[in-house]
Structure 1
């Protein structure tokens, strides 16, 4: 029986998870980095946004590097626009969300340190979104998944 390949690999976690045009392309997971970092591309079509509630992360920082287009991030109530070459670090506990209000698709590289979240979170939440068939996703299920993966959902905005 041949020994498993343990040498360096490009994009060892190559996987695309998608819903409603929004896509996550995992490049590196905690399994591939001894838990130190997870990296994925976030692809957001124009006029789309985060399909999950605004939230914070309990156990990791998220650093976002703009690659294409512009994403509007709201972090602890402050709004910033992240374009190509821009970087934004979202510290643990900061409530945030994103939207693409532009007329072109946007892409960003997301770096999670340490790698406390991985593809399972996106598979599970995107499944709930897809089951909603264009309607609002089941909020209780979304919140349960978020909490189980170390995300704290923000209170819904007051209307």
Structure 2
């Protein structure tokens, strides 16, 4: 009998990825829970902190702001976001997220569908914050 895959993940159980800035934690992914249609997790940004500009050639992105004041620039156009706001980023749209508030900000994100391989999921359009950190690996299942 094979073990049932883990379905519930706490953000503290996964390492923070800071490659593009901020504290991103992929909690639900093919690697963590064996899902097959997308991946998601949580993010935290300190005041002034940002996620570098990039786009997704295969995935739509969904962002829900839990706390703080954020600004998402999409193809050069800024969108102000606060607690309770949700945002849709279509496939291929360049986007950059910054905490424009005086306190910390937190959000929840989801991307779907999955790219054919994890390394194809993001295309960076500005230098990444921590280039020495590996590209996030959401995995290809268990």
TM bin (shorter chain): 0.7 to 0.9
TM-score, normalised to structure 2, is 0.73
Which one of 11, 14, 20 corresponds to residue 9 of structure 2? 11
Q: Distance in 2 between matches of 1:113 and 1:22?
A: 21
Larger CA Rg, structure 1 vs 2: 1
Q: How far did residue 34 of structure 1 move?
A: 3.4
Query: Within the alignment, does 1:57 sit opposite 2:56 as a pair?
Result: yes
Q: How does 1:98-137 map to 2 (within 5 A)?
A: 98-116=97-115
- Cα deviation code 1:82-130 (max 9, x no counterpart): 1111110100110110111211100010011113399xx7xxxxxxxxx
CA contact (8 A) 1:56 1:95 kept: yes
Query: Within the alignment, does 1:154 sit opposite 2:125 as a pair?
Result: yes
Deviant stretches of 4+, over 6 Å: none
Q: Which residue of 2 aligns with 1:25?
A: 25
Unaligned runs of 5+ in 2: 128-142
**Structure (1 or 2) with the greater helix fraction:** 1
Cα RMSD (Å) = 2.9
TM-score, normalised to structure 1, is 0.66
* SS across alignment from 1:16: coil
Unaligned runs of 5+ in 1: 122-147
Q: Distance in 2 between matches of 1:67 and 1:12?
A: 16
Q: How many residues align?
A: 124
Note closer, same or farther for the CA distance 1:111–1:68 as it changes in structure 2 (3 Å cut): same
Q: How far did residue 151 of structure 1 move?
A: 2.2
Q: Distance in 1 between matches of 2:71 and 2:110?
A: 18
